[in-house]
Chain A
């Protein structure tokens, strides 16, 4: 959408003394998540738009409930503020498109008391091109790209959707992933099919998968080489979530670290094998609620069986994590299948 004469930016502009004063302005107005921002100047915002080959007025997504039309300009502003580099923009735009899919339920996941974050998994060549991390400390701080791409949707929700805590965002607790929650999948050190490819995107294409998610639950098992035993630890973690959080099925994500992957791969287990095993094992009866203090809602349905997954395809299996340690994580859905994971290709036209 580049033209010889740059399109006018729609956003109001403010003059401030310096970067510190800019940050103070955004903090005072509630325009940030509490962390400092990079001041979104016109020249930076234009550079980000150019990197995405987008005009400022291009509508990248429409939030389906309140019909907010999210323009490339506002996304570029949020990405600058979050600390992104311009070349991250195609990934950021794909994240926004995923969040605006009707089945993602962006409004409900934002407004709900059961606070959720956008858990973002990036696949394909773009991961390495922009320096994303898939190994050490993968669910936390280790890469600027992971950190800032993951932060951008929160700033958009705040400023573009009005998701201010206590106003539209009614989360009782929220969780730390609401600051940023983005990983690259490790596609290099095992024969498994990348997540996005499992979900229909050709392997050579870059893509993002976004899940409205609760906080990750880290698990440990360093004492078996038997895949079923290992995966039983994951299934048990999911069962605990079914009992202590929500018993209704939806998309769960497993982040499987290298040491666990080595066990599974050596035994010839594919991601499909993992999904099918966990589908069978991650289920509880309603009567088990009695063991966690929820006996009051068991009623006469104590024998009802509640699987965590509607089908094996509900499980997102993500290979990521550092080379040592028998750790993995279960990332639960916000609430059942009221929001489902969405996978969106990083558009070739967006590529810088």
Chain B
């Protein structure tokens, strides 16, 4: 005799999320750098910004979340839509 048991997992609602496609070129691009407020993030982004400028990136939108453990507020996400690509990172 078999027993029938139920799956404990919850399927997430909506479309699965993935990484955006890579840019064809960084030349003249605007890159968003979202800082999650952890202590190492700003230094890491300073370095990343320098590297990206060498590769032709023209401008950056650097924003700092108000709180590491909560999502970025909608107005911050709106501002980041001005970027061609966004890096969201943790520098713990």
Residues in chain A within 8 A of chain B (CB atoms): 9, 11-19, 22, 25-26, 31, 39-42, 45, 65-71, 74, 77-78, 81, 105, 107-109, 111-113, 155, 159-161, 335, 338-339
Is B71 interfacial (CB 8 A cutoff)? yes
Q: Which among B9, B13, B67, B68 has the highest number of chain A CB atoms within 10 Å?
A: B9
**18 other A-B residue contacts (CB within 8 Å) besides A11-B6, A107-B69:** A11-B7, A11-B8, A16-B4, A17-B3, A19-B3, A22-B3, A25-B5, A31-B8, A39-B3, A40-B6, A41-B6, A68-B10, A68-B12, A105-B69, A159-B10, A160-B8, A160-B9, A338-B68
C-alpha gap A14/B92 in the complex (Å): 42
The answer, yes or no, to whether B2 is at the interface (CB within 8 Å) is: yes
Chain A residue with Cβ nearest B12: A68
B4, B69, B70: the one contacting A14 at CB < 8 Å is B4
B8–A155 touching, CB < 8 Å: yes
Bound CA span A292–B39, Å: 20
Question: Which residues of B sit under 8 angstroms from A160, Cβ to Cβ?
Answer: 8-10
Chain B residue nearest to A161 in the complex (CB): B10
Q: Is there contact, CB below 8 Å, between B5 and A13?
A: yes
Contact at A15–B7, with CB atoms within 8 Å? no
16 pairs of residues in contact across A and B, judged by CB atoms under 8 Å: A11-B7, A13-B4, A13-B5, A15-B2, A16-B4, A17-B3, A22-B3, A31-B8, A31-B9, A66-B12, A68-B12, A68-B13, A74-B8, A108-B69, A159-B8, A338-B69
Task: Give A41 to B4 CA distance when docked, in angstroms.
Answer: 6
Residue on B nearest A66 in the bound complex, by CB: B12
Q: Is the CB of A81 within 8 A of B71?
A: no
Nearest 5 CB-CB pairs, A to B?
A: A108-B69, A159-B8, A11-B6, A12-B7, A160-B10
User: Which residues of chain A are near B9, meaning CB under 8 Å?
Assistant: 31, 159-160
- The reply to whether B8 and A15 form a contact with Cβ atoms under 8 Å apart is no
> Is there contact, CB below 8 Å, between B8 and A41?
no
A42 to B7, CA, bound (A): 10
Binding site for A on B (CB under 8 A): 2-10, 12-13, 67-71, 92
Q: Are B5 and A22 in contact (CB under 8 A)?
A: yes
Complex contact B10–A41 (CB within 8 A): no
CB distance from B10 to the nearest CB of A (A): 4
Give the chain B neighbours of A40 by CB distance below 8 A: 5-6, 8
Alpha-carbon distance A335/B13, docked complex (angstroms): 30
Contact check, A113 vs B92: say whether CB atoms are below 8 A apart.
yes
Indicate whether A71 sits within 8 Å of B7 (C-beta atoms), given known contacts A16-B2, A65-B71: no
CB distance from B8 to the nearest CB of A (A): 4
Q: What residues on A are CB-neighbors of B71 within 8 Å?
A: 65
Which of chain B's residues have a CB closer than 8 A to the CB of A74? 8, 10
| Chain A residues whose C-beta falls within 8 Å of the C-beta of B12 in the assembled complex | 66, 68
With A107-B69, A338-B69 as known contacts, state yes or no: A67 contacts B13, CB within 8 Å.
Answer: yes
Min CB–CB distance A109 → chain B (angstroms): 8
Per the bound structure, the CA–CA distance linking A113 and B8 in Å amounts to 25
CA distance A65 to B68 in the complex (A): 13
Give the shortest distance, in Å, between A126 (CB) and chain B (any CB). 25
Instruction: Give the docked Cα–Cα distance between A134 and B90 (Å).
Output: 42
In angstroms, Cα B68 to Cα A34, docked, is 30
Query: With A105-B69, A105-B70, A108-B70 in contact, is A14–B8 under 8 Å at CB?
Result: no
Between B5, B12, B13, B71, the greatest number of chain A beta carbons within 10 A of the residue's beta carbon is seen for B5
